[in-house]
Structure 1
Amino acid sequence: MSTNCPSVSSASGVKKKTRIPLKMKLKIIALRERGKRVIDIARELGIPQSTISTICKDKTRIRDAAKSSASVKSTVIRNKRAGPIGDIERLLVTWMEDQIQKHKPFSLSTIQAMARSFFNTLKENSDDPTYPQVFTASPGWFQRFKRRNNFNNVKISGEAASVNTEGAAAFKEELNRIIVDEKYLPEQIFNVDETCLFWKRMPEHTYIHQESKTMPGFKTYKDRVTLLLGGNVAGFKLKPLLIYHSENPRALKNVSTQTLPVHYRHNRKAMMTSALFADWYLNCFIPEAREYCWENKIPFRILLILDNAPGHPQHIGNMHPFIKVVYLPPSITALIQPMDQGVIATFKAYFLGQTFAQAVRATKSGRTLRDFWNGFNILNATRNIAAAWKDVTLQCMKCVWKKVMKTHVDTFKGFNKDSAVDNIVRNKILVLGNQLELDIDEEDIHELVDIEAEELSNEDLIELEEARRKEAEAMEEEVIAEALKTFTTKKLAEAFAAISSGIRMLEEMDINYERVTKTDRQIQDALACYREIYNEMNKE
């Protein structure tokens, strides 16, 4: 909801209306009532001062409009129907993005079959008599679907890609030529890769996992994050990028994401997109790589090796003059991508070990494993991710480059992916699992460590969309409720009186007059901003 505000002149001299969203108006009112000057709000939000003044004068009507909007919002959303085709396409987008994240090829026949499958599932669950009886998923529909959902660059073929050993060897030679000709140092050569982490998942046969499968709503064992992990040939590790499906999860409500040990980002499906990757590249990778080069007294010249995932924009290499981006050829990622040669698997083993260790400490303090697992949230997971990433050894970070590099090979010794993961499983995770009285063996742990984003059923996709829609609605209602907070002269006067009463109670108990006087002075100084608001409201 928005209303007309005073007109402003465009560069051409033509008057046009500035339309301010309702949420922005509520924010402006809140900032003004907290004592912020009109000129400062205008500068911060890029809105004319006259517009801000008008909004503040009209705050009563704006708040009434917000209350009205909040009272009908949930009903409007629940009754809104995008139509059967829209429902099918939303589920198909989720499925395709899931397949892209797993680097799986597409064929037109497979996509059409999935679309028809979604249609049949939705039709079975619908009680709408007007629901269409037939959906053919024709090639014409698919072309329109691709344009609508920006899948034009996704390669659609009839055959799955095969592993290309000859292509891997050719790429290795070309990469070696670039490194030698342009004299890149080990510290200047980086690789990153995404992985999916089911951060709240126990081994399949445990009672905790079985209970999580029966929980109502969005099942916790399916909750995942996407992580971007990487480092350089010298063994330096970049700060992880974490992508979650919620911008403001309840566990992070009172935590600034800037203080987290990861770069926290979000989108609805917790998946890497071109926009998120470009944001990471410009705002995380470049500053971190520049600082690393400065600390190590080497030139800021970077060679970044990426795979051809759709979430990696092809133009990324043109965004900085001192960073060269090289893309792995199609179908050889599994053969030579460094982070896939043991870093990710080792990290996941350490993460599970961190979580089990926390569970053991909780049970020793008197809590049950069930209580610990129910309280384990995304903030706990984020801290465990950082700890597990720290545990990945320098030797591991160096040795995983041996399949793609011909230079600096003297450092690629002493690490084996399988034996490294086996060692963590046997000597840490299984020991902790026995302390937790979990009936698990090595195979159970390996299945959990090796798991990537599994195929989602139609019901899973529908449930995922519904759960995230409800969370989005709840968060929006919280935002509106927060914005509707307001000052009144009566309540402010009552607050001042209550504080004065508390100071008098301290004075009656304390024989140290100087201490009471000093405390009173500090409290009155702290209340000055609220007294300004009170005085200004009285003037109005």
Structure 2
Amino acid sequence: MLFAVNGENQGVAYEILRSTLGERALFPHIATKNCSFKVNFGAEDPWFTPLTRYTYVGHISLQGRVLGGQGPATREEAEAVMAIARDEHLSLSTVSTINKDEKLIGDAVKAPALIHSTIITKKRTGPLEEMEQLLVTWMEDQIQKCMPLSLLTIQAKAHLLFEELKKHYDDTHNKNFVASRGWFHRFKTHHNFHSVNFSSDTASAEAAKFKDIFLKFILNEGYLPGQIFNVDKTGLYWKRMPEWSYIHKEAKTMPKLKTFKDRLTLLLGGNVTGYKLKPFMIYHSAKLGSLAKGKHTLHVHYRHNKKAQMTALLFEDWFMHCFIPEVKDYCRENSIPFKILLVLDSAPCYPQHIGDINKNVKVVFLPSNTTSLIQPMNQGALAMFKAYYLQNMFSQAVEAKDNEDKELRTFWEEFSVLNAILNIGRAWKEVTKECMNGIWKNLLKMYVNSIKGFDKDGAVVEINKKIVSLGKCLDLELEEEDIRKLIDVQDVELKAEDLIEFAEEEEEIEEEPEQMFTIKAMAEAFASIEHGMKLFSKMDVNLEQFAEVERGVRDVLACYRVIYEKRKKRAVQANMALPSRELTAEEERIDEPAALSSPSSSSDI
């Protein structure tokens, strides 16, 4: 075997007697580390002059080739974790966790599905561990509010939280805590605060440098304004009233009713031309009454978790299932190539590998602590959105008072998160195209259309004046400063007692609702599907096509059929254990299996 570099023969690398190979073929193997490579088996023109008597594998006829063996049989023989994560669109931590829990997952798959389960979160193990969890929450909150972080402020906060938490523990946890640089380095690495320098001294210089590099990159790569997007997450206290108002004071005294503190998280954004993406909303409730039924017709993409905060998994969910499909449609409708550039800040919940998921979407991260200076969505769009949200809420309160003679207190008590979601849609719609284009002035001034630019402060002030006027109709003596505080309420730093309170709420045992699988309902569902397949069989003259569709439908429904059969078996066993009695009409109907036998069955349930 010969070895060549850039077409130059390096001589014999290995010598193997043909007789020792027998009928076995040699397959190419490439071992690499921290690099990418490209292989030409003959599909492209030669990159270099091939060696004498060298033949590309791709030029050999199929009859002259040998089929390769089976793929890797075990995880140890499989691809690297990074490759699996990329191909399966999963985070590295998710793949690692799956590998680690391989046996548990396998046992769970073999075991029957649990119909009712209880989730118990990990209990406290000590003030140090609990302090670090609270510190993560505080830091993520500060980063989201674009508040500068430094090593000294983080160390001081850690020490304050630790001392506060020690009061809740006995004397066995009386060790002192020193927020040293070594501790901070371990903490930062463990909790994945990537690319966060925790210093704002050079923020302006870093922002200016990034702007120059970013502009050159856009011009060199040929990105169009419609292909450049930015998104940012923000918290919304959807039911908060001015702190001095009687409603706010009464709400604070109501036991277990702190809706004035109730917060949801939104991911909002758009592109340079002014196009706005559909909002992505995160709230802590999975059950929202009528909302659950119409989730897919809302003005937002709705997701939930206990903290009502963005996580890496939720962001990947948004990226793959919301962002990419929407921008694909946008590019097709506007006849521009599907070649997207997404600008993000350095928040820990934005995975660094997110740009590897789709080859047509490149992700660029802003330098740390520059979001308040150059992140587009922070240049007025979020403030305008929240001002419009408040204006809509106060307008509805005035309308309820005029048309239904409803007091403000009654309106506030009846105002639900569904009303908030509808208001989010209205407020986001009112944010103008000019605003969404003007917010790019600090990052891409050359693409801002307006000569005067977008006056973010002036626009918000005008909305605030309207809110003050609406407040007077509700007997609220509002001032513009009150409105500004409501809009900027997320900028208030979380205190130690707030962080501890949030953590205690998360530690509560949460029971999952029972699955709504019943024998009767599943039998009716299967019967409806069978009936539909009969109709298709009568309409489709292509028997081969129908048979393929029928097989596909049955394969998709296989998991539900397993659940159905297990439920029926349990019901039969339970009935056999009881004294004999005459079955009711309802029980006879439940036990009818005829409609599930085959598509040719004529029985309907």
Say yes or no: TM over 0.5.
yes
Is the contact made by 2:146 and 2:372 (CA closer than 8 Å) also made in structure 1? Answer: no
The normalised TM-score by structure 2 is 0.64
**What CA distance in whole angstroms lies between the structure 1 residues aligned with 2:177 and 2:472?**
53
Alignment of 1:53-64 (within 5 A): 55=112
Is the contact made by 1:399 and 1:413 (CA closer than 8 Å) also made in structure 2? Answer: no
Displacement, 1:282?
1.7
- Equivalent position of 2:262 in the other structure: 223
Equivalent AA in structure 2 for residue 136 of structure 1 = V
Equivalent AA in structure 2 for residue 115 of structure 1 = A
2:592 to 513, 532, 537: 532
Is the contact made by 1:191 and 1:230 (CA closer than 8 Å) also made in structure 2? Answer: yes
- Equivalent position of 1:355 in the other structure: 393
- For structure 1, the residue ranges without an aligned partner over 5 or more in a row are 1-9, 13-45, 57-61, 498-526
Alignment of 1:170-319 (within 5 A): 170-217=209-256, 219-246=258-285, 248-251=286-289, 254-319=292-357
Displacement, 1:83?
3.1
Displacement, 1:123?
3.0
Is the contact made by 2:140 and 2:347 (CA closer than 8 Å) also made in structure 1? Answer: no
Equivalent AA in structure 2 for residue 532 of structure 1 = E
SS in 1 for 2:362: strand
Displacement, 1:218?
6.7
Displacement, 1:289?
0.5
CA shift in 2, pair 1:400/1:493, >3 Å: farther
- Equivalent position of 1:454 in the other structure: 492
**What CA distance in whole angstroms lies between the structure 2 residues aligned with 1:463 and 1:211?**
20
2:141 to 78, 98, 115: 98
- Equivalent position of 1:422 in the other structure: 461
Is the contact made by 1:274 and 1:311 (CA closer than 8 Å) also made in structure 2? Answer: yes
CA shift in 2, pair 1:335/1:249, >3 Å: same
102-111 vs 389-398, greater mean Cα deviation: 102-111
Is the contact made by 2:372 and 2:378 (CA closer than 8 Å) also made in structure 1? Answer: yes
**What CA distance in whole angstroms lies between the structure 2 residues aligned with 1:100 and 1:209?**
27
Equivalent AA in structure 2 for residue 450 of structure 1 = D
CA shift in 2, pair 1:400/1:141, >3 Å: closer
**What CA distance in whole angstroms lies between the structure 1 residues aligned with 2:122 and 2:233?**
38
SS in 2 for 1:237: coil
256-265 vs 480-489, greater mean Cα deviation: 480-489
CA shift in 2, pair 1:330/1:98, >3 Å: closer
Displacement, 1:203?
1.7
Displacement, 1:453?
4.2
Displacement, 1:143?
4.5
Name the structure with the higher helix share: 1
CA shift in 2, pair 1:120/1:167, >3 Å: closer
Displacement, 1:170?
3.8
**What CA distance in whole angstroms lies between the structure 1 residues aligned with 2:506 and 2:517?**
22
CA shift in 2, pair 1:79/1:47, >3 Å: closer
- Equivalent position of 1:132 in the other structure: 174
SS in 2 for 1:229: strand
Is the contact made by 2:144 and 2:347 (CA closer than 8 Å) also made in structure 1? Answer: yes
**What CA distance in whole angstroms lies between the structure 2 residues aligned with 1:398 and 1:142?**
40
**What CA distance in whole angstroms lies between the structure 2 residues aligned with 1:468 and 1:413?**
48
Displacement, 1:261?
1.7
Is the contact made by 2:194 and 2:346 (CA closer than 8 Å) also made in structure 1? Answer: no
CA shift in 2, pair 1:191/1:359, >3 Å: same
1:84 to 108, 111, 127: 127
Does 2:162 match 1:119? yes
**What CA distance in whole angstroms lies between the structure 1 residues aligned with 2:365 and 2:127?**
39
Cα shift readout 1:450-491 (whole Å, capped 9, x = no counterpart): 332421111111111222333xx24x1x52586899896889
456-465 vs 327-336, greater mean Cα deviation: 327-336
Displacement, 1:365?
1.4
285-294 vs 189-198, greater mean Cα deviation: 189-198
**What CA distance in whole angstroms lies between the structure 2 residues aligned with 1:312 and 1:321?**
18
**What CA distance in whole angstroms lies between the structure 2 residues aligned with 1:479 and 1:314?**
35
Is the contact made by 2:131 and 2:161 (CA closer than 8 Å) also made in structure 1? Answer: yes
**What CA distance in whole angstroms lies between the structure 2 residues aligned with 1:410 and 1:457?**
42
Displacement, 1:138?
4.7
Displacement, 1:290?
0.6
- Equivalent position of 2:18 in the other structure: none
Displacement, 1:188?
1.6
SS in 2 for 1:452: helix
Is the contact made by 1:101 and 1:271 (CA closer than 8 Å) also made in structure 2? Answer: no
Is the contact made by 2:251 and 2:257 (CA closer than 8 Å) also made in structure 1? Answer: no
SS in 2 for 1:326: strand
**What CA distance in whole angstroms lies between the structure 1 residues aligned with 2:593 and 2:475?**
60
**What CA distance in whole angstroms lies between the structure 1 residues aligned with 2:185 and 2:206?**
31
Displacement, 1:377?
2.4
- Equivalent position of 2:475 in the other structure: 437
Displacement, 1:345?
0.9
**What CA distance in whole angstroms lies between the structure 2 residues aligned with 1:322 and 1:222?**
40
Among the aligned pairs, what percent are the same residue? 48
Equivalent AA in structure 1 for residue 191 of structure 2 = N
Is the contact made by 2:192 and 2:348 (CA closer than 8 Å) also made in structure 1? Answer: no
**What CA distance in whole angstroms lies between the structure 2 residues aligned with 1:327 and 1:79?**
33
**What CA distance in whole angstroms lies between the structure 1 residues aligned with 2:496 and 2:316?**
31
- Equivalent position of 1:36 in the other structure: none
CA shift in 2, pair 1:462/1:47, >3 Å: closer
Displacement, 1:137?
4.1
CA shift in 2, pair 1:533/1:146, >3 Å: farther
Cα shift readout 1:230-259 (whole Å, capped 9, x = no counterpart): 11122111001112234x144567435333
1:479 to 501, 513, 528: 513
Is the contact made by 1:89 and 1:115 (CA closer than 8 Å) also made in structure 2? Answer: yes
CA shift in 2, pair 1:468/1:249, >3 Å: farther
RMSD: 3.8
Larger RCO, structures 1/2 (Cα 8 Å, 6+ apart): 1
**What CA distance in whole angstroms lies between the structure 1 residues aligned with 2:257 and 2:502?**
6
**What CA distance in whole angstroms lies between the structure 2 residues aligned with 1:348 and 1:78?**
34
Is the contact made by 1:193 and 1:229 (CA closer than 8 Å) also made in structure 2? Answer: yes
Is the contact made by 2:441 and 2:453 (CA closer than 8 Å) also made in structure 1? Answer: no
Is the contact made by 1:188 and 1:232 (CA closer than 8 Å) also made in structure 2? Answer: yes
Displacement, 1:190?
1.4
**What CA distance in whole angstroms lies between the structure 2 residues aligned with 1:267 and 1:327?**
25
Is the contact made by 1:187 and 1:233 (CA closer than 8 Å) also made in structure 2? Answer: yes
Cα shift readout 1:404-448 (whole Å, capped 9, x = no counterpart): 224334446463111211111113x12221121112111111221
